[in-house]
Chains A and B, each alone.
Chain A
Amino acid sequence: MYKPNDLIFRTTTSLIAFILLGFSIYLLLAGHNSPGGGFIGGLMTSAAIILMYMAYGSDILRKILPVNYRMLIPTGLLIAAGTGIGSFLFQQPFLSHTYNHFHLPVFGDLELATAMLFDFGVYFTVLGVTVTIILSIAEDR
Chain B
Amino acid sequence: MSNLAVLPIIIPLIAGIILAFFPKKLALVRTLTKVFIIGNLAVAGFSAWHVFNHGSIILETGDWAAPYGIIIVADQLSVLLVLTTNIMAAACAFYAPYSLPDRKERYYFYTFFFFLITGVSGAFLTGDIFNLFVFFEVLLMASYALIVLGGDKVQLRESVKYVFINLFSSMLFVTAVGFLYGTVGTVNMAQIAQRVQEVDQQGILTAIGILLFFVFAVKAALFPLYYWMPKSYAVPNPVISALFGALLTKVGIYSIIRVFSLIFIHRIDLTHEVFIWIAGLSMIFGVIGALSTNNIKLIIAYNIIPAIGFILWGIGVFNQEAVSGAIYYLIHDMIIKASLFLLVGTIAYAAGTSDLRKFSGLIHYYPFLGWLLFVSGFVLAGIPPFSGFIGKLLLLKGSLADEKVAVVIIALLSSLLILYSIMKIFIRGFWGEKDDTFEPKPVKGRTAPVVALLALSVFLGIGAEFIYPSVESISRYLLDPANYINAVLEG
Residue contact A94 to B20, C-beta cutoff 8 Å: no
A96 is contacted by which of B20, B21, B63 (Cβ under 8 Å)?
Answer: B63
Residue contact B10 to A84, C-beta cutoff 8 Å: yes
Q: Which residues from chain B contact A92 at a C-beta distance below 8 Å?
A: 63
| CB proximity to A under 8 Å, residues B42-96 | 59-63, 72
Q: Which residues from chain A contact B2 at a C-beta distance below 8 Å?
A: 93
**Given A81-B10, A84-B10, A85-B10, residue A94 in contact with residue B17 (CB < 8 A):** no
CA distance A88 to B60 in the complex (A): 13
Q: Which residues from chain A contact B72 at a C-beta distance below 8 Å?
A: 94
Asked whether any CB of chain A lies closer than 8 Å to the CB of B410, the reply is no
B2-21 vs A, CB cutoff 8 Å, 1 = contact: the mask equals 11001000100110011011
Residue contact B20 to A74, C-beta cutoff 8 Å: yes
**Given A73-B20, A74-B20, residue A95 in contact with residue B13 (CB < 8 A):** no
Q: Which residues from chain B contact A73 at a C-beta distance below 8 Å?
A: 20
Residue contact B13 to A81, C-beta cutoff 8 Å: yes
| CB proximity to B under 8 Å, residues A8-48 | none
Residue contact A88 to B3, C-beta cutoff 8 Å: yes
Residue contact B6 to A94, C-beta cutoff 8 Å: yes
Asked whether any CB of chain B lies closer than 8 Å to the CB of A51, the reply is no
A63-99 vs B, CB cutoff 8 Å, 1 = contact: the mask equals 0000000010110011001001100100011111100
Residue contact B14 to A93, C-beta cutoff 8 Å: no
Residue contact A97 to B62, C-beta cutoff 8 Å: yes
- Closest-by-CB residue of B relative to A91 is B3
CA distance A11 to B6 in the complex (A): 52
| CB proximity to A under 8 Å, residues B386-413 | none
B18 is contacted by which of A74, A84, A85, A96 (Cβ under 8 Å)?
Answer: A74
CA distance A72 to B59 in the complex (A): 30
**Given A71-B21, A73-B20, A88-B3, residue A94 in contact with residue B59 (CB < 8 A):** yes
B17 is contacted by which of A74, A84, A97 (Cβ under 8 Å)?
Answer: A74
Residue contact B59 to A77, C-beta cutoff 8 Å: no
Residue contact B17 to A77, C-beta cutoff 8 Å: yes
Q: How far is the CB of A83 from chain B (nearest CB, A)?
A: 11
Q: How far is the CB of B277 from chain A (nearest CB, A)?
A: 42
CA distance A88 to B53 in the complex (A): 23
- Closest-by-CB residue of B relative to A88 is B3
Total contacting residues, chain B, CB less than 8 A: 16
CA distance A77 to B18 in the complex (A): 10
Residue contact B21 to A94, C-beta cutoff 8 Å: no
**Given A84-B10, A85-B10, residue A93 in contact with residue B61 (CB < 8 A):** yes
Q: How far is the CB of B141 from chain A (nearest CB, A)?
A: 12
Residue contact B61 to A95, C-beta cutoff 8 Å: yes
Q: Which residues from chain A contact B6 at a C-beta distance below 8 Å?
A: 94
- Closest-by-CB residue of A relative to B70 is A95
Q: Which residues from chain A contact B62 at a C-beta distance below 8 Å?
A: 93-97
- Closest-by-CB residue of A relative to B61 is A95
Q: Which residues from chain B contact A78 at a C-beta distance below 8 Å?
A: 14, 17-18
Q: Which residues from chain B contact A77 at a C-beta distance below 8 Å?
A: 13, 17, 20
CA distance A10 to B420 in the complex (A): 71
Q: How far is the CB of B100 from chain A (nearest CB, A)?
A: 21
CA distance A88 to B3 in the complex (A): 8
Residue contact B61 to A94, C-beta cutoff 8 Å: yes
User: Could you say which of A77, A93, A97 has the most chain B C-beta atoms within 10 Å of its C-beta?
Assistant: A93
Q: Which residues from chain B contact A81 at a C-beta distance below 8 Å?
A: 10, 13-14, 17
Q: Which residues from chain B contact A74 at a C-beta distance below 8 Å?
A: 17-18, 20-21
CA distance A95 to B70 in the complex (A): 10
Q: How far is the CB of A86 from chain B (nearest CB, A)?
A: 12
CA distance A77 to B63 in the complex (A): 22
Q: How far is the CB of A125 from chain B (nearest CB, A)?
A: 10
Q: How far is the CB of B116 from chain A (nearest CB, A)?
A: 15
- Closest-by-CB residue of A relative to B10 is A85
- Closest-by-CB residue of B relative to A73 is B20
Q: How far is the CB of A113 from chain B (nearest CB, A)?
A: 12
Residue contact A94 to B10, C-beta cutoff 8 Å: yes
Q: How far is the CB of B117 from chain A (nearest CB, A)?
A: 15
- Closest-by-CB residue of A relative to B9 is A94
Q: Which residues from chain B contact A71 at a C-beta distance below 8 Å?
A: 21
User: Could you say which of A71, A81, A92, A95 has the most chain B C-beta atoms within 10 Å of its C-beta?
Assistant: A95
- Closest-by-CB residue of B relative to A80 is B17
CA distance A69 to B60 in the complex (A): 35
Q: How far is the CB of B122 from chain A (nearest CB, A)?
A: 12
Residue contact A93 to B17, C-beta cutoff 8 Å: no
CA distance A93 to B7 in the complex (A): 11
Residue contact A93 to B21, C-beta cutoff 8 Å: no
Q: Which residues from chain A contact B20 at a C-beta distance below 8 Å?
A: 73-74, 77
In the complex, the 5 A-B pairs of residues with the closest C-beta atoms, listed nearest first: A74-B20, A95-B62, A94-B6, A95-B61, A96-B63
20 further A-B pairs in the complex, CB-CB below 8 A; given A78-B14, A85-B10, A93-B63? A71-B21, A73-B20, A74-B18, A74-B20, A77-B13, A77-B20, A78-B17, A81-B10, A81-B13, A84-B10, A92-B63, A93-B2, A93-B60, A93-B61, A93-B62, A94-B3, A94-B6, A95-B61, A96-B63, A97-B62
- What would 8 A/B residue contacts be, using CB atoms closer than 8 Å? A74-B21, A77-B13, A77-B17, A81-B14, A85-B10, A93-B2, A94-B61, A95-B61
